[in-house]
Amino acid sequence: MVRSNSTSGRNAKGSERLLQTAIRETREETGISLSINEVLGTLEPTYPKNAPGIEVIPFIFFLSKEMELRPGDEIEFCRWIPLAKILSNAAEIKLPGKGRVSAFIFENMVIWGMTHGILLDLWRFLEELGLN
């Protein structure tokens, strides 16, 4: 997933293209080295409600096996979780100031908001490719 700012190109460095940014950011944040040859496509851009002007374009890659995760300095933790396990734990939660929202609850994690929407879009994307 790559965040980009349409006015300043916030996370892209120099003339780096968004796909190259996604590959670099993934390596820096998780230790996973991706290749342009592994890209399946992108999801529709989404816009965080708490960050006006930011556009998030999720890039989808195919990996033939789980790779070792090495979280970067900006990441508290990361781990592999089958998408179906997350999606099978749908819930509705109440958030202060936001009311009731759709979410996924998995172990001690509550996934809601933009990430919740991206995971649903990812499931539909994989379904269209016959990969889920």
pLDDT at 11: 61
Quick one: CA torsion of 67, 70, 72, 75, rounded to 10 degrees? 90
In eight-state DSSP terms, residue 13 is -
pLDDT band at residue 15 using 50, 70 and 90 as cut-offs: low
pTM of the predicted model over 0.95: no
What share of the chain has pLDDT > 70, as a percent?
88
Q: Quick check: 5 and 12 in contact, CB under 8 A?
A: no
In eight-state DSSP terms, residue 67 is -
Q: Provide CB contacts within 8 A for 60, sequence distance 6+.
A: 39, 40, 41, 42, 43, 122, 125, 126
